Chains A and B, each alone.
Chain A
């Protein structure tokens, strides 16, 4: 009921915003290239508003309905240097022309680091442009995120799932943090909510985790914007920031790229065609191969990405631009056979075909209306074939009850296949208006969004008769398509209110988002931010926001867990007539429908100083994730009825009959609970020193300090840690420890640019200041209760916990601490050279000084310390980029 009030409020605000009116101006002109040829389809945009236009064949643009004030004008077109200009509009302006230069290392301004920007997408955002992307030769989006302050530069490893881990120092629940990071690809919010495959080979599953960023090719990306602060109200189903990826759209020549590192290579091609009737067709293709290193070097990864994108202006009058895209992706994880290996014990394969269809556009109706609808379909097949040794009891029945079962042969294969077909459909309808009242300029956005997740896969399928009877709880068949769809319906409204004074500019953003999740949660997420800028030099920022993330479908509908109790002891014989097994199967179906969405809260503040090419950005933040979902142990107890064998009269054969004897058996097994809380505090710093004009050298310092406190409210249930050799087991119930993890890192980037010979050399010094984990809640080594083996719960009075009779349950926390890392450095160098024709050659060397510091780990029981290596080995990569 409450929610309807908000809806009404939202509705009236929208109506108000349409009707409000003030005097409005036009701003027009042309966009040319350096040779004064008109540029077609350049975007001319007033930043922070919905007002933009695309240039026509003559390079003409017209911006309309501009309320007076100060704006940042932004002109961009693929392949050319962007122009950003501060401008004050207090009347109609005509013939305001721009001359864009082709992107090239010959230009003076080349930015090779992530840039902190004021963006309408959220409070703290980093924009990574195409020059910065080219400089690091990324193969996937995860490589690009290395440019975010505080992130470590690593060599490309595509053989494991790569996830964003924004503003998090903690290690234990980092996939929970990544699960809450939205990844938006050309306006399409990707989702792992419907992924239900877990337990597949080699741990490549993204169930309950974030988007696998290695699947997104970097070869056709124009820019990446990372919102690490409070995202605008437009973004939902998120607790930990957003990554907004924009692919190239527009006219481009043929680009061929080739990148290679010692263990991977990548080919990419893309081209933007200009169609006769206006509009563009962009095509791209990418193939990547990566070989794992180290102990898992048999493994390899292959990726194919292909895309088509069609962009067209449908109506000039309505300024209706429409965009349609179709993408196909193949991701393959597998392993080769080692020539020395006669038989491979465990084979696996994970293959996913991914099809994305997206359409979006905007037109000048009700201010500006944008729409988008996207469909994502993935067919993910995983195969796991493990050769297992027998004889062991296998059973055909999947029913609960007592069954006669058989024995496997001495050697047999256990094949598990997973068929997952997660589907995500999301859509958005949004209107934007700009108006002025009482001297305040408003730029409002109201929208509706939905997201539908469902898995149509067959699920986990086991080959017949290889269900090994397991008394510790195991998983068998599970279908995915029976799990109900996960739907989210949302409304949002945001008003960006700006006030321009003589010496000061204020921007106040107020947003409210309403999400209706899982057909039972009405969730309100306010998002507020304030920025005040004085003398165009100093800016203060403050932002606060709440957001929610729905549980994954696997967390809500995990498959049944099977427990098999072997009723008969004497049951095997080499003589098949005497071989007989009796097994009682219990099926436990966890009901997790009461799992709540997790909640993210961010508060941040900061200041910026801009003076004569010196830029300083300092942001302090506090981020909280509550109700995080983790898997915790529960105890189950079963009856085991003891059976006995009987010889069938006159034969050698055996049969079995139940006896009166019953034994209680117990086991722990995992369930999902909303039990994790994490709080991260941090400071992010980015300093851009004035360019040394004489030598064309830029120096950039970025860094972050992060402290994450992680705790899990669930209790630990653990079988006697100090069990004697002939005594009864019991399960102690303990508090969990909680930790503070500290990570402080900084990168000093020195970019030496020589425009005359089109050469850029960057030298990056990564300084790892702090990396340590401290135990903050040292739980009592004594349990406060225990379960005896028949499942009864016994509270231990506080005074008795240290008594000798509970010695077996003593559990010290010494075990939990780790040794802090010392301060250490890592040095990287990247060189990019552009030829006259515009081809690029680049080279990088990570840890090029081959500096491999070590440190000693925590002393083990006997006082010995393990040696840890801090930097990876020196790695080289080369890249070519041809323009035809």
Chain B
């Protein structure tokens, strides 16, 4: 056994010496290069270490790849590289928990950093740096839902609004974004309510759908800014009650009357069309008489994008007994959904959820009606003055009930 190993070592050594001899032949003509790559992590992620990461370099002429591990300081050293042009890259895979801890985005995420076209000259030591950074899947989130309404001045639900928020560090365009209020209407508050038998894994169901108009770049939402969609763009504090919201500065308002009348239906008497605020496009509204009012007890809202969205309707399969009136819903693909929040009528009605857990694993609720309370997404952190809101896809954790609505901001 011992002898065999010694023989193997001797033969290996001989082979290496022979190869080295050949290499030493060229040494006089081509000088090799060294490269130190410093890996850093973007400011919006904290608590992450750049140690023990593979850094890859790719020769742009022969696509040869080399890699090196970073040391404790994030430095990866490449020695004796053939001179030429290289692309440098590194990745860091984060689980949802790791991502959430580092950034507030509780989503599986890959941080990526690249340095393109690094030229390495033979005989020199080179330095390169890359910054690892990543973005959550959804940069637009629902920031606040004010559905509960106010008794003050008997406004009731007329001052409802849906507010979106750009949770990324880059501009996002709202153009073409769909906003939907989900079905079914039963929410556990009635004695005869039972949870829907609808399967909610691939599709969810909507009663009302509207869409932000625009051709692609008409309605930018800057990083850390809100996008306010008011039921009516009206200053409801005008009646004298300062607790009522001023929605006159909304980015969008809903107005269904004209569309409803074109279909032979009737619009709501309270649906006001403010000339100074653009209107959402009406897409779907399964009522004879109505508007884009949310249920003041338990609306569930999603935002989704699908450029080729077509309405596919189903009748409520729970209604297997023919009823005088059965509900007709529009289907929305779960994979099109950017963000969604499930709102139930109270803490006990969680089995009436309208969203699958990969969109919203929990739900939020407000006790009572017309309490003027609002449901808002919590702040996770602030990065260079920009708020990042908590988005773990679980409304139970991400949303909080606030005493007064805060359209356009956070009330401070």
Contact = CB atoms under 8 A, between A and B. Distances in A.
Asked if chains A and B come from one complex, the reply is yes
A411 B153 contact: yes
B315 to A, nearest CB: 7
B192 interface: yes
A500 B270 CA distance: 77
B46 to A, nearest CB: 44
Interface string A284-321: 00000000000000000000000000000000000000
Contact of A472 (B261, B266, B328): B266
A670 interface: no
Interface stretch (B30-38, B86-94, B220-228, B273-281): B273-281
- Chain A contact-residue range equals 35 or more
Nearest to B285: A725
A725 B207 contact: yes
Contact of B248 (A574, A812, A865): A574
B313 A722 contact: no
A729 B264 contact: yes
A667 B266 contact: yes
A862 B285 contact: no
Chain A CB within 10 A, most for which of B284, B319, B322: B322
Contacts of A343: 154
A84 B15 CA distance: 144
B326 A470 contact: no
A781 B186 CA distance: 25
A645 B276 CA distance: 12
Contacts of A836: none
B321 A573 contact: no
A721 B286 CA distance: 10
Interface string B237-271: 01110001000100000010110011111110110
Interface in A679-730: 719-730
B189 to A, nearest CB: 13
A409 B274 contact: no
Interface in B26-60: none
Nearest to B235: A574
Given A389-B270, A392-B272, A727 B263 contact: yes
A389 B191 CA distance: 31
B154 A862 contact: no
A573 B264 contact: no
B99 interface: no
Interface string B170-201: 00000000000000001000011110000000
Contacts of B73: none
A470 B257 CA distance: 12
Contacts of A566: 257
What class of interface size applies to chain B in its complex with A? 35 or more
Interface in A835-884: 860-867
A875 B84 CA distance: 101
A867 B318 CA distance: 22
Interface in B158-174: 158
B191 A411 contact: no
B326 A722 contact: yes
Contacts of A664: 264
Nearest to B276: A573
Contacts of A468: 269
Interface in A553-604: 566, 569-575, 578
A572 B234 contact: yes
Contact of B154 (A387, A574, A724, A727): A387
A578 B276 contact: yes
Nearest to B209: A725
Interface in B308-326: 311, 313, 315, 318-319, 321-326
A815 interface: yes
Interface string A410-438: 11000000000000000000000000000
A781 B261 contact: no
B287 interface: yes
A758 interface: no
Nearest to B319: A861
B261 A411 contact: no
Contacts of B274: 570, 572-574
Given A723-B328, A812-B322, A860-B192, A789 B272 contact: no
Given A815-B323, A864-B191, A866-B191, A725 B239 contact: no
B311 A726 contact: yes
Contacts of B275: 570-573, 578, 645, 654
A487 B269 CA distance: 42
A47 to B, nearest CB: 56
B273 A470 contact: no
A471 B260 CA distance: 12
B286 A345 contact: no
A575 B330 contact: no
A74 B196 CA distance: 72
B323 A812 contact: yes
Contacts of A484: none
B313 A663 contact: no
Nearest to B284: A725
A725 B248 contact: no
Given A573-B275, A721-B325, A388 B154 contact: yes
Nearest to A410: B239
A575 B274 CA distance: 10
A391 interface: yes
A234 B401 CA distance: 71
Nearest to B320: A861
Contact of A391 (B244, B266, B272): B272
A571 B257 CA distance: 12
Contact of B153 (A410, A729, A789): A410
A719 B288 contact: yes
A582 B191 CA distance: 45
B239 A814 contact: no
B324 A815 contact: yes
Interface string A638-651: 00100001000000
A666 B288 CA distance: 12
A572 B272 contact: yes
A409 B192 contact: no
A93 interface: no
Contacts of A862: 186, 192-194, 318
B383 to A, nearest CB: 35
B255 A569 contact: yes
Given A389-B155, A470-B269, A574-B235, A725 B192 contact: no
Given A389-B155, A863-B194, A410 B287 contact: no
Given A410-B236, A723-B288, A811-B324, A569 B191 contact: no
A569 B208 CA distance: 21
Contact of B325 (A389, A722, A867): A722
Given A569-B257, A574-B235, A721 B324 contact: yes
A864 B192 contact: yes
A725 B269 contact: no
A107 interface: no
A132 to B, nearest CB: 41
Contacts of B206: 725
Contacts of B257: 566, 569
Nearest to B255: A569
A860 B330 CA distance: 23
Interface string A721-741: 111111111100000000000
21 contacts: A387-B154, A389-B156, A391-B272, A410-B235, A411-B240, A469-B269, A574-B274, A574-B276, A578-B276, A645-B275, A664-B264, A665-B264, A666-B264, A719-B265, A725-B207, A725-B286, A726-B311, A788-B264, A811-B324, A815-B324, A862-B192
Closest 7 CB pairs of A and B: A789-B264, A410-B239, A725-B284, A815-B324, A812-B322, A411-B153, A729-B264
Given A410-B236, A728-B263, 15 more contacts: A387-B153, A392-B270, A409-B239, A411-B239, A411-B240, A571-B273, A664-B264, A721-B325, A722-B325, A724-B313, A725-B206, A725-B330, A730-B264, A812-B322, A815-B324
Interface of B: 153-156, 158, 186, 191-194, 206-209, 234-236, 238-240, 244, 248, 255, 257-258, 261-267, 269-270, 272-276, 283-289, 311, 313, 315, 318-319, 321-326, 328-330
